[in-house]
Amino acid sequence: MERTHIAFFGRRNAGKSSLVNRFTSQELSIVSDVAGTTTDPVRKTMELLPLGPVVIIDTPGIDDEGQLGSQRIERSLRVIDETDIAILVVDAGAGLGDDENSLIDAFTKRKIPYLVVFNKSDLDVAIPDVENSMSVSALKGEGIEELKEKVAVIIKNRKTRPLVSDLVEEGDLVVLVVPIDKSAPKDRLILPQQMVIRDLLGKGAIPVVVKDTELAIALEKVGKVRMVITDSQAFGKVSKIVPAEIPLTSFSILMARFKGILDQSIEGANMLDKLENGAKILISEGCTHHRQCEDIGTVKLPNWIREYTGKDFEFSFTSGLEFPKDLSSFDLIIHCGACMLGETEVASRYRKAIEQGVPMTNYGIAIGKMKGILARVIDF
């Protein structure tokens, strides 16, 4: 299960750091009445009852001033990208202002569940009656358990996004293209293929699985097709066979959407058009043993990229659990579909890239881009 990222936002001196320390029962952040004490987001990975595995993030205030201040605000706002649940800490005495409302807008826009927490309830002030809100005193430690309970409920209700079943109706016929070449594992289907089939069956849709070599015949025989899902390596060939009116996508694109990294990956793939000669590209693979994968990552992909861009780049490669902590020297990261890596690991790699401002994409989406069909294969 993925670690829930819980981030505390709000104005300076609202008591974010005090509340984080109460929430985690740790002295994670420095508390002070000097506005702007927390200068960088502070992250802490922990197990917290009754919430399970979480990352708690304390942010600097979003109302900071001056040049340095605006950098801090920027950094705080960037934390929204990695936030699963937002806690908006408000000084009950000050109430909700423009800063809070613009944060609430940002959460709503990104569908991030949030709680408005009026802090300093120990002071003699009226607590505003606002939706999604509660009051606490970080100073006295009051309301903290209730806050945790509320967060626990949000975590429990967080719907994981379906892989494909929300894109089809019961009874829809979906053709899956699984090339059986030497890069296909012997005697089995890979995990994303199994997951797509399972999800379609659960929906009552009708998956029809074919090799690329039988795709044309299959399309003739089966009648109305809702969608074709292919291995992205076969994008070039398959996109020519599938009529334009039938939606086409790939297993890796559905997986990226499922993992919540599709937008980031599309942005990353579009970087291919902007890289300068000599730019540094990291190609990263989740598994160490699958020799043909390596061949794609270390040989085919660099060649396609050179061909597509007409430029030369400096490629680096990693595989398995090795993944650089410091990504800042790279201009682009291209990751495999990561079917062998845990969701948490994958999510954290993509988050790391966001945190360090490095564009990141995956093989399938990069291939779609280079085949000139990216717009088509993300149009479900």
Ligand X SMILES: Nc1nc2c(ncn2[C@@H]2O[C@H](COP(=O)(O)OP(=O)(O)O)[C@@H](O)[C@H]2O)c(=O)[nH]1
Q: Which positions touch ligand X (CB under 6 A)?
A: 10, 12-18, 31-33, 37-38, 61, 119-120, 122-123, 137-139
In the chain, helix, strand, coil percent, each to 5?
Answer: 40, 20, 40
C-alpha to C-alpha distance for 257 and 259, rounded to whole angstroms: 5
Angle at CA 351, nearest 5°, toward 337 and 231? 15
Name the residue among 260, 236, 19, 10 with its Cα closest to residue 147.
Answer: 19
Scanning 30-38, 62-70, 217-225, 247-255 for contacts with Mg ion by CB under 5 A, the matching segment is 30-38
Distances (CA, A) of 49 to 21, 44, 52, 114, 370: 15, 15, 6, 19, 47
- Segment near Mg ion (CB under 5 A), from 10-18, 142-150, 208-216, 220-228? 10-18
Say which entry of ligand X, Mg ion, none residue 12 contacts (CB below 5 to 8 A, set by partner kind): ligand X
Least distance CB 260 / ligand X (angstroms)? 28
Binding to Mg ion by CB under 5 A, coded x per residue (else -) over 37-56, reads -x------------------
C-alpha span between 266 and 268 (Å, rounded): 5
59 binds Mg ion (CB under 5 A): no
Q: Phi/psi class of residue 130: alpha, beta or left (left: φ > 0; alpha: ψ in -120 to 50)?
A: beta
Q: Which of these, 136, 121, 116, 154, lies nearest to 23 by C-alpha position?
A: 136
Nearer to ligand X, 92 or 218 (CB): 92
**For Mg ion, the closer CB: 38 or 319:** 38
Cβ distance to ligand X smaller for residue 31 or 253: 31
Applying CB under 5 A, among 6, 10, 11, 17 the residue interacting with Mg ion is 17
Count residues binding Mg ion (CB under 5 A).
3
Please report how close the Cβ of residue 127 comes to ligand X at its closest, in angstroms. 12
Residue 137 CB, nearest approach to ligand X (Å): 4
Between residues 92 and 254, which has the closer beta carbon with respect to ligand X? Answer: 92
- Minimum Å gap between C-beta 233 and ligand X is 49
Q: Which of residues 95-134 bind Mg ion (CB under 5 A)?
A: none
Please, what is the minimum distance in Å from the beta carbon of residue 267 to ligand X? 32
Measured CA to CA, the distance from residue 251 to residue 271 in angstroms comes to 22
> If binding is defined by CB under 5 A, does position 230 make contact with Mg ion?
no
CB 281 within 8 A of CB 315: yes
Which CB, 72 or 120, lies closer to ligand X? Answer: 120
The residue (of 38 and 250) whose beta carbon lies closer to Mg ion is: 38
| Residue 43: strand, helix, or coil | strand
Are 137 and 146 a contacting pair, CB within 8 Å? no
User: What is residue 248's three-state secondary structure?
Assistant: strand
The nearer residue to ligand X, 119 or 265, going by C-beta atoms, is 119
Which range, of 15-23, 98-106, 108-116, 187-195, touches Mg ion by CB under 5 A?
15-23
What is d(CA 363, CA 284) in angstroms, rounded to the nearest whole number? 10
Residue nearest to Mg ion (CB): 38
Rounded least distance, CB 3 to ligand X, Å: 23
Least distance in angstroms from the C-beta of 352 to ligand X: 25
- Phi, psi for residue 317 in degrees, rounded to 5: -130, 140
Residue 258 has phi, psi (to 5 degrees) of: -60, -40
Q: How far is the CB of 19 from ligand X (least distance, A)?
A: 7
CB of 74 to Mg ion, least distance (A): 16
- Cα dihedral angle (54, 58, 62, 67), rounded to 10 degrees? -120
**What count of Cα atoms within 13 Å lies in the side-chain half-sphere of residue 248?**
26
Q: Which is nearer to ligand X, 137 or 230 (CB)?
A: 137
Q: Which is nearer to Mg ion, 138 or 248 (CB)?
A: 138
Binding site for Mg ion (CB under 5 A): 16-17, 38
